[in-house]
Amino acid sequence: MTSAIPVNAHEPGEERPARPLTMFGPDFPFAYDDWLAHPAGLGEVPAGEHGTEVAVVGGGLSGIVTAYELMRLGLRPVVYEAHEIGGRLRSTPFEGHPGVVAEMGAMRFPPSSTSLFSYVRQLGLRTTRFPNPLDVSTPSTVVDLKGETHYAQSLDDLPPLYREVADAWHETLVDRVRLEDMQAAIRDRDVKTIKAIWDELVERLDDTTFYGFLAASPAFRSFRHREVFGQVGFGTGGWDTDYPNSMLEILRVVYTAADDDHLSIVGGSQQIPVGLWRREVEAPVHWPAGTSLASLHAGGQPLPGVTRLHRTAPNCLTVTDAAGGIRTFRAAVFTAQSWNLLSRIACDESLFPIDHWTAIERTHYMGSTKLFCLVDRPFWKDVDPRTGRHRMSMTLSDRMTRGTYLLDQGEGRPGLICLSYTWADDSLKWLPLSATERMEVMLASLREIYPDVDLRRHVIASPVTVSWESERDFMGAFKANLPGHYRYQRRLFTHFQQDELPEQYRGLFLAGDDISWTAGWAEGAVQTALNAVWGVVHHLGGRSHPDNPGPGDLFDELAPVRLPED
């Protein structure tokens, strides 16, 4: 975790330990973690605005963080949620087995998500290391490609081809995109160097796919190397489903260590938004001690989902919910999946300038499917006396399962298996099947890899599954920009800074995972929520503390590079 101490707070000549890699940029290198940790807080609104209602559409992580921080500043957030608090932080229990949850959405969080983890610490939640392939916490990994199965406890246990692929990936990053220079700059919070490197890469690579980038690298001249890399990848496993996406999306991940050293939240990630909803604040502005978001809402529940959103005079936003309730606000934050503005919610075109509508329409989402089963015990840790190997391992495969994760729930407790985690086209293959049908296909695939393991014999509960592309209010797991989408993403991310917008378009702020540069990682949802908080405060005549300037105060210095549009 990073501290709130300035980078240069050390004696001249004193050796200073390197700060860790964090999600500091590269597009907008603002220190959200330091802003949150500063004793001056996130700013203030005029006393006359205390108690002002602000609509927050969406009760996922971004919406709840937005509402929580607005409440602490003395405003009254009014949260609308169509389903349950959590959004894509959805922890699903197994009936009859309390304490065990399947993470249907976000399930692994890199330590570089320092803003996110500030809330994890506030809530006193515990973490444990997530068992990614070949991770130190993973007893063993099996790579199964083209019918050949390799058992490994480290990369060196795999055939030389896999080391060649790993070395080719590192060589490509160092030689072609200055990996080491960029990571050193991120560690040092060196904004000037980050922007010098990144702005040039944006101009050079915005039109380049991930696959095109690899194919143009001398280290990946062999198709076989590109094929293996697509199946096995780096960090969490294969990345070939990302091959059509912009290379910039991949670089944001590797530069900021987003795919390294993952942690999971003990008891489920949904505890973060639910915990913030219920958390009683000791000394909020304006509100009495012990106020929580739940206490500001009748019955402790958010309002129903939004069905209509339009502008009304003078410069207000009117929200209609599914129960027919109509309320009008001077400011609102939209944190739900942005495609809802196109199809699920009746909207006036006057909500945004036409270029922002275009950006919303062009947003590209990745589908994702997961299926979990509960087993009687973590039998995979048993060692086969004939081979000396674990009965079953974390498994990467080109079969239908793609990724199978083994999740130990602790001594004397059932075991949890994520039988399959797939994205994009691999996810669509599962779409017509029920949970039981999906499990049958997965068990058949795994039987080919582990012929001596009767996995079915260990299953003790009905499987649970999700395909995010078919979820009514989500329509995808996360945003993933295609080549040429940088300009669209810039419009959406920078929407919180509204001084340059015509007045009739101000007061409605976009936030959420798909607005962030790092979609698919919860840190992006938190960062865009904090942008929206700054935007609302500024819109209502408030300001940041001079000792703790916010993202909008430093916008001109840090703004993402603007590519030409003519």
> From start to end of 331-455, where are the E strands?
332-334, 346-347, 365-366, 368-375, 394-397, 403-408, 415-423
In whole angstroms, what separates CA 170 from the centre of its chain?
Answer: 24
Question: Encoding tokens for residue 345?
Answer: 């919610």
pLDDT tens over the chain, length 566 residues: 222 222 223 233 334 456 899 999 999 999 999 999 999 999 999 999 999 999 999 999 999 999 999 999 999 999 999 999 999 999 999 999 998 999 999 999 999 999 999 999 999 999 999 999 999 999 999 999 999 999 999 989 999 999 999 999 999 999 999 999 999 999 999 999 999 999 999 999 999 999 999 999 999 999 999 999 998 886 677 789 999 999 999 999 999 999 999 999 999 999 999 999 999 999 999 999 999 999 999 999 999 999 999 999 988 999 999 999 999 999 999 999 999 999 999 999 999 999 999 999 999 999 999 999 999 999 999 999 999 999 999 999 999 999 999 999 988 999 999 999 999 999 999 999 999 999 999 999 999 999 999 999 999 999 999 999 999 999 999 999 999 999 999 999 999 999 999 999 999 999 999 999 999 999 999 999 999 999 999 999 999 999 999 999 999 999 999 999 98
pTM score above 0.85 = yes
- Give residue 318's pLDDT: 98
**What's the CA dihedral at 417, 402, 427, 274 to 10 degrees?**
40
136 DSSP assignment: T
Q: Would you tell me which CATH number, out of the four given (2.60.40.730, 1.10.405.40, 3.40.50.10440, 3.40.605.10), belongs to the domain 159-261?
A: 1.10.405.40
Specify which residues 346 forms β-bridges with: 308
The residue extents of the domains of the chain are 49-87+267-364+480-558, 159-261, 368-476
- Give residue 19's pLDDT: 81
Give, in degrees to the nearest 5, the angle at Cα 357 between 354 and 358. Answer: 90
Angle, nearest 10°, between helix axes 61-72 and 271-278?
20
For the domain 368-476, what is the CATH code? 3.90.660.10
Q: Going by CATH, does the domain composed of 49-87+267-364+480-558 fall within 3.50.50.60?
A: yes
Sort residue 41 into left (φ over 0), alpha (ψ -120 to 50) or beta.
left
**Cα first-last separation, the chain:** 42
Q: How far is CA 67 from CA 38, 120, 283, 335, 560, in A?
A: 19, 16, 16, 11, 26
- Dist. CA 304–CA 291, nearest whole Å: 22
